Structure 1
Amino acid sequence: MDQSSLRSLHPNSSTTISSSSSSFQSHKGRIKGKRNQSLSTLSTDPQSVAARDRRHRISDRLKILQSMVPGGAKMDTVSMLDEAIRYVKFLKAQIWFHHNMLLFFNDFETTSPCTYSPAGVVSEFGTRLSGCDDDYTL
Structure 2
Amino acid sequence: MTVQPDCSALARRTAALCTLLGSSDHVRRLPEVQAAAERALTLLRSGADAAVLAACYDDLDHVLRQAGDARGLLNESRGATTPGVATHIKVAVCPGPARCSRLERARDLLPAPHCAVHDARMHKRRLRPEE
| TM-score, with length taken from structure 1 | 0.26
Q: Which has the larger radius of gyration?
A: 1
More helix by percentage: 1
Structure scoring higher RCO (CA < 8 A, sep ≥ 6) equals 2
| TM-score, with length taken from structure 2 | 0.27
